[in-house]
Amino acid sequence: MAEIVLFSDSSCDLFPNIIKEYPINLIPFYVSFESEIYLKANEEISLQEFYKKLRVPHTFPKTSLPSINDYCEHFRPVLAAGNAVICLCLSSKFSGSYAAAVNAKDILLDEFPNAKIEIIDSEAATGQQGLIVLETAMMIKDGLSFEEVARVAKLIRADSRIFFYVDTLEYLEKGGRIGKVSAFLGGMLNIKPVICLKEGELFPIAKVRGKKKAAEKVAASLAEYIAGREDQFNYAIAHADAAEDLRHLEDIILNKLNIPLMYDDMEIGTTIGVYTGPDVCGTACVPKYQQYLKH
| pLDDT tens column, 169-191 | 777 766 555 555 554 554 556 78
Confidence (pLDDT) at 71 = 98
Residues 6 or more apart whose CB falls under 8 angstroms from that of 78 comprise: 5, 84, 85
Residues 6 or more apart whose CB falls under 8 angstroms from that of 211 comprise: 165, 167, 192, 245, 248, 279, 281
The secondary structure element, H or E, covering residue 168 is none
The whole-number average pLDDT for the span 261-273 is 90
**What is the average pLDDT value for the chain, to the nearest integer?**
91
Confidence (pLDDT) at 232 = 97
Q: Which of 49-53, 101-105, 166-170 has the lowest mean pLDDT?
A: 166-170
Asked whether residue 46 carries a pLDDT value surpassing 90, the answer given is no
> Which of the four pLDDT bands, split at 50, 70 and 90, describes residue 221?
very high
On whether the CB atoms of residues 29 and 10 are closer than 8 A, the answer is: yes
Asked whether residue 230 carries a pLDDT value surpassing 50, the answer given is yes
Confidence (pLDDT) at 188 = 55
Confidence (pLDDT) at 183 = 47
On whether the CB atoms of residues 99 and 130 are closer than 8 A, the answer is: no
Confidence (pLDDT) at 295 = 62
How far apart are alpha carbons 219 and 24 in whole angstroms? Answer: 29
Residues 6 or more apart whose CB falls under 8 angstroms from that of 52 comprise: none
Confidence (pLDDT) at 175 = 53
Higher-confidence residue of 1 and 111: namely: 111
Which H, E and C letters describe 259-277, residue by residue? Answer: CCCCEEEEECCHHHHHHHC
Q: How many CB atoms lie within 10 A of CB 282?
A: 32
Confidence (pLDDT) at 288 = 97
Confidence (pLDDT) at 178 = 54
Task: Please write the tens of the pLDDT for every residue from 59-87.
Answer: 888 889 999 999 999 999 999 999 999 99
The whole-number average pLDDT for the span 223-242 is 96
Asked whether residue 292 carries a pLDDT value surpassing 80, the answer given is yes
pTM: 0.92
In percent, the amount of the chain with pLDDT more than 90 equals 72
Backbone φ and ψ of 82, nearest 5°? 85, 15
DSSP state of 255: I
DSSP state of 202: E
Confidence (pLDDT) at 294 = 77
